[in-house]
Chain A
């Protein structure tokens, strides 16, 4: 058990190391941050001054050393745009993203399992086919377009919800629906074959023979299937933090970390770009580690590979 935990943590550490290296490489060497930060017609002195200010004239090794030293203390410098420490900004925005992700995930899991069970308990029936179709659409849905469609229908035409912003409950609904579409589709897609497989097992027949009502039988089957569903849910949740939340937050003006990333890119705020990318990717890695560890807890076979 300990070996498993240690191995997983080491793997995570490797991932974080690579993350730091890749972000450094991308932001210091691959592109030119000075070109990014300054307008096109900037004078040579301005360019030189900026390079000095961010220590970009130092040898790469020195730059990397400073970069790592700062990252370890979670010091990403000061945002050019808001003139506050980047880390503070990120921490400020995290709760909003987390709230959105949690609510989206909640409905996605409930609806996904429901639909998956509906389809799985009636394989190859009309219900199964229509549910599979709907979940297929969901799993391949395009976040920002669904968002815009919802805005058009629910906000502009029907006036039920505000188009964007952050405030009370009604601001949360449209973004949460949009964000949850893909996880809903994926969870339903995975639940269905798992349920089908479970229902083929002999114990189900035994339970039915003893007269257990259908709902309870489904309950039993789900318990056995829950591990797979749980892992997928975990990965989808981690995924929500990155790509999905960025787009949805951008469309709905939801003040989370994703929107912060977009804003930092639009304002060419290099320290903030580095900060948001690193933190978000780091969170995803940590979430993956947690999921794997919990999975190892539930499924003993994984521990002894």
Chain B
């Protein structure tokens, strides 16, 4: 069978499996919706998110062309949410990318080479796991100073251990496959083996873990922004919107509710996606579903 036909068959199977799990399907639809809304926020948003209209402060949702109401400075909540999605998603995503780059590399190398490299990396992973990540993140962000780049780097540095553990565990079993043995026999370098044999087989597992971690990082970013240590105004993220709306909670419940719902739904959707990915990449599960 030609490669193209094989790939098409694989995609078809993937689509079939997605269709079987309605929650995962719903999650993907929702996430695509959020992604489109954020990428095209500039064109799709009804108002400029920074546009203050003090005559129309704190309008309830549904009034006069403001679907989700306005905030204390008269800015349209819906537009702010669409723009806020960008940073919220971006930080979560790049944070995971950094964490995965660091974690998967170290984990794979440790798992493959074993010996002293493995002991060293495992010790570091163990010790760092003893710390609550939020605490570590908060401390680092406070000392270095808030900002999007800091946040991403700190997220990566604080959460790489999860990916390292997973990658190492998977590598430990993968290094015994025949391809590795054969490659070693003909003298392929370790790096080459890791890249061409181990990594592709790791891919599905680490991607599913990565997706789950992205959900965690989005919550972490929202929490930090809410506390004031994350993204700073005038940038917009959902967490920051909640922080700004908190003072008006008694009379303007929508300022807090809608961004919160956005975060909650997005996190749930991403988590469901991650769970589904993990389910389909687990060979045992695949067997159950009938490959």
Give residues in A with beta carbon < 8 Å to B: 11, 14-15, 18-19, 22-23, 26-27, 30-31, 33, 36, 136-137, 140-145, 148-149, 151-152, 156, 238-239, 241-243, 246-247, 250-251, 261-262, 265-266, 273, 277, 280-281, 284-285, 288
Contacts and interface: CB of A to CB of B under 8 A. Distances in A.
Nearest to B126: A11
Contacts of A36: 142-143
Contacts of A151: 249
Given A243-B134, A284-B132, 7 more contacts: A19-B131, A36-B142, A148-B256, A152-B249, A243-B135, A277-B138, A285-B131
A18 B131 CA distance: 10
Which range holds the interface residue count of chain B? 35 or more
18 contacts: A14-B123, A15-B130, A22-B136, A31-B142, A31-B145, A142-B260, A142-B263, A142-B264, A144-B226, A145-B264, A148-B256, A149-B257, A151-B249, A156-B250, A243-B133, A251-B246, A262-B227, A273-B142
Contacts of B58: none
Contact of B142 (A140, A239, A265, A285): A265
B92 to A, nearest CB: 13
Contact of B271 (A30, A136, A143): A136
B268 interface: yes
B249 A148 contact: yes
A143 B223 contact: yes
A94 to B, nearest CB: 15
* B interface, over-half SS: helix
Given A136-B271, A142-B260, A145-B263, A247 B139 contact: no
A140 B256 contact: no
A76 to B, nearest CB: 14
Contacts of A250: 227
B58 to A, nearest CB: 15
A26 B154 CA distance: 12
Interface in B256-291: 256-257, 260, 263-264, 267-268, 271-272
A26 B141 CA distance: 10
A36 B143 CA distance: 7
A31 B145 CA distance: 8
B229 to A, nearest CB: 7
B249 A140 contact: no
B145 A239 contact: no
Contacts of B257: 149, 152
